[in-house]
Amino acid sequence: MSQTLKIAAIAGDGIGREVMPEGLRVLEAAAQRFGISLQIDTIDWANCDYYQQTGAMMPEDWKAQLSGYDAIYFGAVGWPATTPDHISLWGSLLKFRREFDQYINLRPVRLFDGVPCPLAGRKAGDIDFLVVRENTEGEYTNLGGILFEGTDREIVIQESVFSRKGTDRVLRFAYELAQQRKRKLTVATKSNGIAISMPWWDQRADAIGADYPDIAVDKQHIDILTAHFVLQPQRFDVVVASNLFGDILSDLGPACTGTIGLAPSANLNPERDFPSLFEPVHGSAPDIYGQGIANPIAMIWSGALMLQFLGHAEAHDAIVRAIEDSLKQGPHTPDLGGQAKTTDVGQDIAERVRNAT
CB of 77 to ligand NAI, least distance (A): 4
Beta-sheet strands, E only, within 150-253: 155-158, 184-189, 216-221, 238-241
Helix axes 243-255, 222-231, angle to 10 degrees: 10
Q: Which does 298 bind (CB under 5 to 8 A by kind): ligand NAI, Mg ion, none?
A: ligand NAI
The DSSP H or E segment spanning 51 is helix 48-54
Closest residue to bound Mg ion by CB: 247
Residues 6+ apart with CB under 8 A from 207: 168
- Give CA separation, 324 vs 21, 30, 338, in Å: 20, 16, 16
Closest by Cα among 209, 214, 173 to 309: 173
Interior/surface letters 267-301, b for 16+ CB within 10 angstroms, e for the rest: bbbbeeebbbbbbbbbbbbeebbeeebbbbbbbbb
Residue 183 zone, left/alpha/beta (φ > 0; ψ -120 to 50; rest): left
CB of 14 to ligand NAI, least distance (A): 7
Q: Report helix, strand or coil for 138.
A: strand
CB of 194 to ligand NAI, least distance (A): 27
Stretch that binds ligand NAI, among 65-73, 202-210, 291-299, 300-308 (CB under 6 A): 291-299
Q: Which does 288 bind (CB under 5 to 8 A by kind): Mg ion, ligand NAI, none?
A: ligand NAI
Residue 128 zone, left/alpha/beta (φ > 0; ψ -120 to 50; rest): beta
Of 27, 46, 69, 78, the residue at the interface with ligand NAI (CB under 6 A) is 78
Q: Which does 105 bind (CB under 5 to 8 A by kind): ligand NAI, Mg ion, none?
A: none
Interface with ligand NAI includes 254 (CB under 6 A)? no
Site string for ligand NAI, 257-276 (x = CB under 6 A): ---xx---------------
Interface with ligand NAI includes 242 (CB under 6 A)? no
Interface with ligand NAI includes 85 (CB under 6 A)? yes
CB of 250 to ligand NAI, least distance (A): 12
The DSSP H or E segment spanning 63 is helix 62-67
Q: Which does 249 bind (CB under 5 to 8 A by kind): ligand NAI, Mg ion, none?
A: none
Interface with ligand NAI includes 288 (CB under 6 A)? yes
Q: Report helix, strand or coil for 79.
A: coil
Nearer to Mg ion, 13 or 247 (CB): 247
Q: Which does 302 bind (CB under 5 to 8 A by kind): ligand NAI, Mg ion, none?
A: none
Give, as ranges, the residues between 321 and 340 that touch ligand NAI (CB under 6 A): 335
